[in-house]
Structure 1
Amino acid sequence: MTTQDQSNETARCFGLVLLSVFILPFSASLACTFHILGGIFSPEESGAVLRTKNSSRPQKIILVTGVGMAKGLALARSFYLSGYRVIGADFEDLDSPCPGRYSQSLSAFYSLPNTDNDKATDAYNTRLVGIIQAERVTIWVSCSGVANALQDAYAKESIERHTACKCIQFDVQTTSSLHNKGAFMEQCKDRGLPVPETHEVKSNQDITQILAASRISNPERKFILKSIGLDDVNRGNMTLLPLPTERDTKLYLSKLPISKPNPWILQQFIPGGEEYCTHSLVVRGEVKCFVACPSAELLMHYTPLPSNSPLSRAMLDFTVEFVRRSPNPENMTGHLSFDFMTSEKGSSYCGIEKNIYAIECNPRAHTAVVLFAQHSPEMKAMVNAYLDAIDESESQAGTEGLVVPPANIKPRYWIGHDLVSLLIHPMLLWCFGLIDFNHASSDTIEFLRHLLTWKEGTFEVWDPLPAFFLYHVYWPSVILYAWCYGRHWSRINVSTKKMFTC
């Protein structure tokens, strides 16, 4: 990294921290006011907590892990507002406390050990089992991050061996096969479901041979490379292959860390396509909750597709068929999320004008679940769908039909992201003459539209402290830690606490 790059990174880091400090007095006064007056602003549904506690029926206790992320916090709040005792847990460092631990929806919070190695995974499993036994947890709702989905699968099997707790989490075999991009594509092919042409590659020679064959059979076809494992550096690389010359292609490939221990996938590029993501809850092989929305490489805005739209129905049909055609669908209980690309060309799928192609599966909760977290009958129905995981003889809340977000749901945004990306950054570029005024003003108008008509993804009037600690404690401490220890990063996903290293 050059001296200029180091200076730019220092300016960026301290600029973000100073922005947080500058806004702190306003945020603190707002958070304190709402926290003190929380009883006034709290949805009337919160009164159900007392009714449940006083009920003669044993109270169901819900453990939600991942409450530091917006998706976990949204689910914890939904259970709380529906009258259940909620225990929260998440990974936590001493210098960057989990924002979700301060939520009013939690009766207790537990820190979890990191899962960096096999010994740490054992400690993680032991910790979860201990929490569940100590708190007499009825259901564990796993909200995994991308790095610990498989660890949660191992934890599920350990929990079910040692406790009577029901787990909203797929088993190890299912999670590992869906988490692996190449294995997922093979499963889709076996089930007769639409996916782009995909190859697992373990060397540059594999790639050049596939590209050479495609050049003969499909001269217009282009491909992109994706790392199967976690790779923040190359995650957003959308270089189309082959390049204009064979020499350029070989030179490009020589810079990528592709090997037998680190295989990648070579996947057909869908020209002119749009990307979508979905979130669904599956209970014993039945899709209980579903939402689809437009996606992006760094997704920070969530606007649901109408549930009755042909495109949403096609993605729902794909999800239902994927589960139904699985070897043992009755054993599948967990979160299931797909990424899709659409194409204008070719025959339609499920009677719509666009083809849909599954490009990736995430066997974990998607942040799109925040679109259910609005005080409404649909939120109650979602909670009841989770409770269906309890044996029917024990469950008092069965769901009939598919649960989708309410029709009047507000799109979600995160003000910390939009303030920088849509207001401050464009204005700085305009001041330095790098963009014109129309571009900067357009972004400003978009920011104001989100502020006035959308809903902040973490902030709740009746539960303001998680958002306060997210923006004024967690992210400033993480950014300063990265700068102090020379950890270079390119982007931040505010909602998932993900910092992309480079």
Structure 2
Amino acid sequence: MPTPTTFTQHIFKNISLIALSILFLPLDAFITATCLLWNFSQRFSDPPPAAPRNEPRRTVVVSSLCMAKGLLIARSFHLAGHKVIGVDFDTAHYAHSPVISSGAFSAALARYYRVATPRTDESRAKYATDMVDIIKKEGADLWICVSGVASTTEDALIKATVERETKCKVFQPDPETCDQLHEKHEFIRLVKEAGLRTPLTTLVTSREEVYEVLQQHPSTQFIVKCVELDDVSRSDMTQIPQPTPEKTEKFINSLDISPNKRWVVQEFIHGDEYCCHAVIVRGIVHAFVACPSSEMLMHYKPLPADCSLSRAMLAFVRKLVKTLEGGQLTGQLSFDFLIDPMEAKKKPESVKLFPIECNPRTHTAVILFKDQPQQLANAHLKLLEKDDHAPKDGKIAGVPAKETDIIGVAAPHVDRFTKKDYYWIGHDLVTDVAIPVSDFLMMKIGVYECLRQVSWYAVKVLTWKDATFEFWDPLPWFWLYHVYYPWMFVTSLLTGKRWSRVNTSTTRVFESY
């Protein structure tokens, strides 16, 4: 299980990060001011983005501007010439924060709103009312739900209300589909029914059921994951059975398993992890990208669109979505896969995938479309086009689009001078500079290892792209590191609420104990 955060660590982490923000404040303020002054001067010579000829200018609502993926989609629609309305929940991911998200300051937004957070029956009703009122007021044509883990189903539930009471279309799967894809055991069942390979997965509601799985499969290694949202167990990759029965029993007994807190016991697959993000309209994939992955992905490097692994993941997505919602699913889906590296090396043309998870919402990998705003916006706008593939005579609709119709990230050799790797400069400043330097001063690592990590950070600054910073839109980047997070760390100190990790891409802080 994750190591508890001590009081000393809690104080040191928060104060250090606040101090780091203050240290870089003059430099970042200078960079931001320079960008703003240049952009202001260019307003008199450069016309604003205009919608392509023969295409209408749409009003698009984009939610979750607090996350990099929401901000990226909002910027894409703005650069494509459309009017963008931003929406965030009225509380931060970690604490009831009066500080609004960094995305609220984006130049891509024509308007910005904060809405009720759907946590109780009353707030859920208020959230639905808020969204309908905003959509009516702005005359929105499309709502792109950039949902968080806790709000995916909530957005799907109010989809019918929004589409019934307004002309706006909602880019989100149905509630039942969201629930099935989100829960690991249900997702595995759907994959099996589609005739695709899966790891052995069992839903358990008691510790006794965990022992039963181990007895039924004595030669198989498993990991256990909580079905419900649980920050403490999220990163735990402990395998069972352990080397001794006593260690196995100790680990299983430490798990809080009950009918109200369900877990899955899943076969542990040795291999490399990959993920993909797909934009789907009526069962047809219109945008797709794949990249290497990890448990908490903070660096994004796309796979070439024409490589065998990317093609295999695309084929998987196409086959699965044809079985969902009668072949008419619309939404953004992301999948996690494990690949046996030896198998992929021996037979790259027929690589086999082990799907382990699906997130029926936007994946941060969408930032890999940062250089293709027009194409990404057009992929979503397909929903507003007339449906020429309506099901007839009970047949499943949604004939897969041709590969040439799908936007993806070009292979590196096609555009080798364009930066294709993305990172968050503030996150890596801590992991690649602050922590190694601290470890060196405390004599935990040598000078060579410290310099190696610091130099690697310099390489990323010079050759990679920051996922949040844009020269034409610098305020979200500045606000994120010098207002939003510092206030969150101050709140952590004042409340005593401890955290274990920070996901800079989603602004989510994982609770500790």
Structure 1 position 47, deviation (Å):
2.9
Matches within 5 A, 1:269-288: 269-271=268-270, 273-288=271-286
Matches within 5 A, 1:16-95: 16-39=17-40, 47-49=48-50, 59-93=57-91, 95=98
Q: Which one-letter code corresponds to 1:16 in the other structure?
A: L
Percent identity between matched residues is: 37
Cα distance between partner residues in 2 of 1:348 and 1:447: 30
Structure 1 position 350, deviation (Å):
9.3
Structure 1 position 355, deviation (Å):
2.7
Q: Which deviates the most, 405-414 or 319-328?
A: 405-414
Q: Which one-letter code corresponds to 2:462 in the other structure?
A: L
Query: Structure 1 residues 89, 46: CA separation in 2 closer, same or farther (over 3 Å shift)?
Result: farther
Query: CA contact under 8 A between 1:45 and 1:83: conserved in structure 2?
Result: no
Aligned with 1:429 (options 439, 456, 480): 439
Query: CA contact under 8 A between 1:284 and 1:329: conserved in structure 2?
Result: yes
Where do 5+ consecutive residues of structure 1 fail to align? Answer: none
Q: Which deviates the most, 194-203 or 404-413?
A: 404-413
The equivalent residue for 1:382 is 376
The equivalent residue for 1:235 is 234
Cα distance between partner residues in 2 of 1:114 and 1:79: 25
Q: Matched residue of 1:140: which SS?
A: strand
Q: Matched residue of 1:308: which SS?
A: coil
The equivalent residue for 2:170 is 167
The equivalent residue for 1:209 is 212
Aligned with 2:308 (options 297, 307, 310): 310
Please give the per-residue CA displacement for 1:378-397, whole angstroms capped at 9, x wherever unaligned. Answer: 43222111111003289xxx
Q: Which one-letter code corresponds to 2:289 in the other structure?
A: V
1:363 matched to 2:366:
no
Q: Which one-letter code corresponds to 1:423 in the other structure?
A: V
Query: TM-score when scaled to structure 2?
Result: 0.90
Cα distance between partner residues in 2 of 1:181 and 1:119: 29
Where do 5+ consecutive residues of structure 2 fail to align? Answer: 92-96, 389-400
Cα distance between partner residues in 1 of 2:292 and 2:29: 34
Please give the per-residue CA displacement for 1:329-351, whole angstroms capped at 9, x wherever unaligned. Answer: 12x11100001111246799996
Query: TM-score when scaled to structure 1?
Result: 0.92
Structure 1 position 4, deviation (Å):
9.5
The equivalent residue for 1:442 is 452
1:179 matched to 2:173:
no
Matches within 5 A, 1:70-469: 70-93=68-91, 95-215=98-218, 219=219, 221-271=220-270, 273-330=271-328, 332-344=329-341, 352=349, 354-374=351-371, 378-392=372-386, 401-407=405-411, 408=415, 409-469=419-479
Please give the per-residue CA displacement for 1:310-343, whole angstroms capped at 9, x wherever unaligned. Answer: 111111111111112335112x111000011112
Please give the per-residue CA displacement for 1:23-51, whole angstroms capped at 9, x wherever unaligned. Answer: 11111121122112115679x997333x6
Cα distance between partner residues in 1 of 2:321 and 2:260: 30
Q: Which one-letter code corresponds to 1:433 in the other structure?
A: M
1:497 matched to 2:495:
no
Q: Which deviates the most, 320-329 or 182-191?
A: 320-329
Structure 1 position 244, deviation (Å):
2.0
Q: Matched residue of 2:234: which SS?
A: coil
Structure 1 position 421, deviation (Å):
0.2
Query: CA contact under 8 A between 1:314 and 1:350: conserved in structure 2?
Result: no
Query: Structure 1 residues 40, 474: CA separation in 2 closer, same or farther (over 3 Å shift)?
Result: same
Q: Matched residue of 1:68: which SS?
A: coil
Query: CA contact under 8 A between 1:46 and 1:83: conserved in structure 2?
Result: no
Please give the per-residue CA displacement for 1:233-277, whole angstroms capped at 9, x wherever unaligned. Answer: 011111110112223212211111111111100001112x11111
Cα distance between partner residues in 2 of 1:95 and 1:327: 40
Cα RMSD over matched residues? 2.4
Query: Structure 1 residues 349, 437: CA separation in 2 closer, same or farther (over 3 Å shift)?
Result: closer
Cα distance between partner residues in 1 of 2:470 and 2:343: 45
Query: CA contact under 8 A between 2:309 and 2:348: conserved in structure 1?
Result: no
Q: Which one-letter code corresponds to 1:229 in the other structure?
A: E
Cα distance between partner residues in 2 of 1:306 and 1:259: 44
Q: Which one-letter code corresponds to 2:386 in the other structure?
A: E
Cα distance between partner residues in 2 of 1:464 and 1:370: 16
Cα distance between partner residues in 1 of 2:232 and 2:46: 45
Query: Structure 1 residues 57, 254: CA separation in 2 closer, same or farther (over 3 Å shift)?
Result: closer
Please give the per-residue CA displacement for 1:146-188, whole angstroms capped at 9, x wherever unaligned. Answer: 1211111112122112111111111111111111111111111
Query: CA contact under 8 A between 1:95 and 1:477: conserved in structure 2?
Result: no
